[in-house]
Amino acid sequence: MNCESFGSCGSCTLGEPYEDQILYKKQLIGDKFREFFDGEFEFFASQPQNYRIRAEFGIWHDIWHSAFDLAYTMGGARSKKILINECPKVALPIANLMPRLLEVLRRSEALKEKLFGVEFISCASGILATLLYHKRLGEREQEAICELAGKLGIRVMARARGQKLLSGELSLTDELCVDERVYKFRFGENAFIQPNRGVNEKMIAWARSCVDFGKEGMGVVCAAQNFAVKNSIAENSVAQNSSHEQSDAQNSTDRNSASENSAEFDAACRNFVKANSACIEFNGENFVKFNYASADESSADKNSARKDLDVRNSASQNLDCEKRCVQNSACEKLIAQNSSCEQSAPQNSSCEKHSVRPENSAARDLLELYCGHGNFTIPLAAKFNRVLASEISKSSIANARINCELNGVCNAQFVRLSADELMSAFARRREFERLKGIDIFGYDFSHVLIDPPRAGLEPSVIDFIKNFENLIYISCNPQTLFENLRSLCATHEVRRFAIFDQFAHTAHIECGVLLKRRS
């Protein structure tokens, strides 16, 4: 990537050819995590440029040169900020819009006054440009953004403290192609989204490939189903079962199956040449290199749940599956009856004709923490019988339910709870109105997917998820992942380890780890 500002701009810190950056990151992660995993580290590369679908720039005002009185700025490597003319990292629709937008802003007194920043989002539904102000916005600015949107063919938002103006209806929708299927996602302008669409698609496909209900695990599946049903019989009344049967019949219509493909290594990780940089230790002084992150990255949910629950999986392993095959058949029906009550009316309304059938008859249930607007939930839903997903953001939960309808997913239940609150509910320490009508103890979780913020998982949350057989950990911070694996590997072993290069030309690294409970 050729960038005229490299070295003075503080955003990109790796100037080597991209192939060498790949080798450097593989060596860095491989050396650090080799104590947990001695297999092949999968690497999923980015486009070298034009990969960012979300970007933010400052605005500089020059009061002495009226012909060029506005310019974009970025944080500098050796100064607070620098002026830039372009940014090769941003997606082409944003790159092409940037000079045109600046030219129109220069001619509008209403829009350039007190303007201090611009944010861009490029998605399937178009481009949103958000103008940030240090002033009170009024009718003059409202008229001006409508005119701007019409000239450039984009959506425009103006924001100031406590104010938000829109040029028209705002509906952001993107499309992701995963395992030969296109998924549609609606999200809000403030939602956390993965900024690299191509790597995000690879990351989701990799997570799907981590779900394996093969013959090797059938014994455990059968035993777990037997044990789960015993608990279900004790916890559910005859009246509940009757109503669930009706709901189950309604939810089982016409489901589409998605094709299942395992993720492949990116070709770039197959090129082995000498890395041109030394291995860097993850110590306090050097780890500052890993602290580059998107400004809109979620910081919700600092989990503080306590050690709580004995999960049914461990106890159920003692049951003899072969002698109980007849019982299993009846049990599976009962589980389906008890599960269907969890689907809310809005989620079911448009799903009946387009719902997705689980891709494997041995599928069990998925628990997902920090689900956002369903980035992983929606594509993974077809791998499981049912999904319980939690998220603290009210708007993200609302969009996640809409995304279920957009993609014909009816087996996912979303709850607006932090991880801490959900742990309290599982431990029966607290009751929540938001869980009314949802039997969280009726699930039979075989997998837990966790995608925490940079702070990682607190010990109490680790103690909870240790009880489950399969863990899929998506990490945006290698240091906290390393610390969490020290605890998790006491009960689990790492089966797969992936590196996702979400931010090419920077030291930021994201990882995916599949852990399986030790026998």
Q: What is the pLDDT of residues 321-364, one digit of tens each?
A: 333 333 444 334 333 433 433 344 344 444 443 445 566 656 79
Would the annotation count 42 as a binding residue? no
Residue count (the chain): 519
Classify domain 51-123+126-170 by CATH architecture. Beta Barrel (2.40)
Q: What is the pLDDT of residues 140-154, one digit of tens each?
A: 999 999 999 999 999
- pLDDT tens per residue, range 86-119: 999 999 999 999 999 999 999 999 999 999 999 9
CA nearest neighbour of 2 among 90, 60, 88: 88
Nearest 5°: the CA angle 25, 27, 29 is: 70
In whole angstroms, give the CA distance from residue 490 to residue 473: 16
- Summarised one tens digit per residue, pLDDT across range 4-19 is 999 999 999 999 999 9
Please state, rounded to an integer, the average pLDDT across all residues of the chain. Answer: 78
Q: What percent of the chain has pLDDT over 70?
A: 70
Report the CATH architecture of 23-47+175-213+354-517: 3-Layer(aba) Sandwich (3.40)
CA distances from 308 to 243, 466, 489 (A): 31, 11, 19
Residue 122 has pLDDT above 80, yes or no: yes
469 is in an annotated binding site: no
Instruction: Judge whether residue 233 has pLDDT over 50.
Output: no
Alpha carbons 274 and 372: distance in angstroms, whole number: 39
Instruction: Answer yes or no: pTM beyond 0.75.
Output: no
d(CA 52, CA 293): 13
Contact criterion met (CB below 8 Å) for 469 and 462: no
Tokens of 456: 């990682």
> Does residue 62 surpass a pLDDT of 70?
yes
Where exactly does CATH 2.40.50.1070 map onto the chain? 51-123+126-170
Which helix (H) or strand (E) covers residue 313, if one does? helix 312-316
Whether 443 has a binding-site annotation, put simply, is no
Return the percentage of the chain with pLDDT > 90, whole number: 65
169, with CB counted inside 10 A (0-12, 13-18, 19+), is exposed
Q: What is the pLDDT of residue 68?
A: 59
Q: pLDDT-derived band of residue 65, with 50, 70 and 90 as boundaries?
A: low
Confidence check: pLDDT of 216 > 90: no
pLDDT at 458: 80
Flag whether pLDDT at 43 surpasses 80.
yes
Q: Which of 205-214, 316-325, 383-392 has the highest mean pLDDT?
A: 383-392
Q: Which residues make up the CATH 3.40.50.150 domain(s) of the chain?
A: 23-47+175-213+354-517
> Of 404, 476, 489, 511, which is the active-site residue?
476
Q: Which two tokens stand for residue 336?
A: 């389906």
Higher pLDDT, residue 161 or 260: 161
pLDDT of 447-491, one tens digit each?
999 999 999 998 778 989 999 999 999 999 999 999 999 999 999
Distance separating alpha carbons of residues 306 and 308, to the nearest angstrom? 6
Would residue 371 show up in a list of annotated catalytic residues for this protein? Answer: no
> Rounded to an integer, what distance in angstroms lies between the CA atom of residue 519 and that of residue 517?
6
Pairing of strands 172-178, 181-187: antiparallel
**Has 370 been labeled as part of a binding site?**
yes
CB atoms within 10 A of CB 486: 12
For residue 491, which of 248, 253, 311, 257 has the smallest C-alpha distance?
A: 311
Give the per-residue pLDDT at 69: 83
How far separated are the first and last CA of the chain, in Å rounded? 48
200 residue type, one letter: N
